[in-house]
Chain A
Amino acid sequence: MAALLSVSGLRASYGPTRVLHGIDFAMDEGTITTLLGANGAGKTTTLRALCGMVKTQGEVRFAGERIDGKATEWIVRKSIAHVPDGRGTFVTLTTEENLRLGAYTRKDRPQVETDLERVYGYFPRLKERREQQAGTLSGGEQQMLAVSRALMLRPRLMLLDEPSFGLAPLIVQELFEILRTVNEKEKVSMLVVEQNAAMALELADHAYLIETGRVVLSGTAGEIKSNDAVRRSYLGY
């Protein structure tokens, strides 16, 4: 079976500073893959590169089709939803308007209404706050909103940039629980970037370790978890 997403030789720079030095990885449909690494390793840049938000060289294929060098708006229409770093909330719009924007590219209006109820089912708190300005939501609620907005696309692949960032441990657990449910029930593939390696390895099937813009280690989540170097540097025991 061909990979859902395959990346080879992905390079990217911010001005003269090269951040990605040729990243290679692949993931299968229906799986959860995580990219681990320290601050500044290039995880966020990798996700941004996949969405056409930074200029890149190298090849990115999604379901067999080249998506590198394409505009972000075009890539979204291939059913790739990005939960960005910093959550990307439309702060002056209401919660529900934020969610409807997630379905902006969809033409099936009646199903969008059903999906709205579906994500409210996952996150009842958002339903309570549907008419509230999204900027007034708490950090945890805004992260739920970002995930929900991505779900409104009915994505085939979700890119999640540090979904646990700045959240209380209990909320992180709740969020990851829901991500697992979405993956199992709706067969949404996920590529998760995380600093919280322990949580990410719990969730993921496969993991890649990135150091200074290169993949230095890859394997199933179990293999990575039991790797001595990873354990010492990223899991801290």
Chain B
Amino acid sequence: MDAVLHQVLAGLATGGIYASLALALVMIYQATHLVNFAQGEMAMFATYFAWSLINAGMPYWPAFLLTVVFAFFLGVVIERVIIRPVENSPVLAVVVVFIALLVILNSVTGWIFSYTIKTFPSPFPAEPIFGSYITSHQGGAIGVTLVVLLLLYLFFRFTPLGLAMRAAAQNPESARLVGIRVGWMLALGWGLAAAVGGVAGMMVAPIVFLDPNMMGGVLLYAFAAALVGGIDNPAGAVFGGFLVGVLENLLGAFVIGNELKLAVALVLIIGVLVVKPSGFFGKVLVTRV
């Protein structure tokens, strides 16, 4: 029983990270109906930025905050400079741009920082909490995730800018008619998504270690999470993230072994797409004719 509880708690910790990244995917999906394959590499790049700051002697939390700001601007710039010109192109063209972005960010990072694996510090103390069920970093990661989710919720639900961003995503034409600068709302959305991804990157790096390919697996779990929850539902994506994290850990520990863990994500993705493409909480699109 102890072992199960331990695996569930550890699952919640990584699940929170999947949830953050899944939320980033959903934020961009809602506005553009496209899945940003480069979301993970953007997060990875931001994490390297944090590593450079910390390596240069900056204390953890200022480096953390600065990285969030950096990731935000990285997202905005990528949207303005790279995504904007292909906005009205066919879906496949945009997907190719996303994949190019993934490869470019990955290679550029490898070129700047080399592919050797680096350790990334955790801001939380080394001794375990809750009677050794969970490391402090895992507990802290859950806490950070929850704070980020709460802040996002409050922003979208209660601020005029959050409302304008939801309106722009939902009905761009009407949004323009009430004076919302839809293009900038999209860029802001990319910025926020990248910032959330950056936090996820910094939380996962102490666990998986820092290297240019570290987000590959994480992004796959995040896809699974977003699909399980319903790709157009932010709350669903968060739920999916925690669910995938726990499921991955329990199955890995007791059923299929650690080697096949990543297969859990793929099975979930295929299973959801086959059985219930709208996910647990997604809207089924019905068009009246």
Contact = CB atoms under 8 A, between A and B. Distances in A.
A186 to B, nearest CB: 19
B181 interface: yes
Interface stretch (A94-102, A123-131, A229-237): A94-102
B177 interface: yes
Given A72-B177, A73-B179, A153-B178, A101 B170 contact: no
B166 A100 contact: no
Chain B interface, DSSP helix/strand/loop, else mixed? helix
A73 B181 contact: yes
Contact of A84 (B167, B170, B174): B174
Given A97-B163, A104-B160, A90 B171 contact: yes
A105 B164 CA distance: 11
A36 to B, nearest CB: 23
Chain A interface, DSSP helix/strand/loop, else mixed? loop
Nearest to B174: A88
B180 A104 contact: yes
Interface residues on B, range: 10 to 19
B173 interface: yes
A93 B164 contact: no
27 contacts: A51-B177, A53-B173, A73-B180, A73-B181, A73-B182, A76-B177, A77-B179, A81-B177, A82-B177, A84-B174, A84-B177, A88-B171, A88-B173, A90-B166, A90-B170, A90-B171, A93-B167, A93-B170, A97-B163, A101-B163, A101-B175, A101-B178, A104-B164, A104-B180, A149-B178, A153-B178, A153-B179
Interface of B: 160, 163-164, 166-167, 170-171, 173-182
Given A88-B173, A90-B167, A101-B167, 11 more contacts: A73-B176, A76-B179, A81-B177, A84-B174, A90-B166, A91-B171, A101-B164, A101-B175, A104-B164, A105-B178, A153-B179
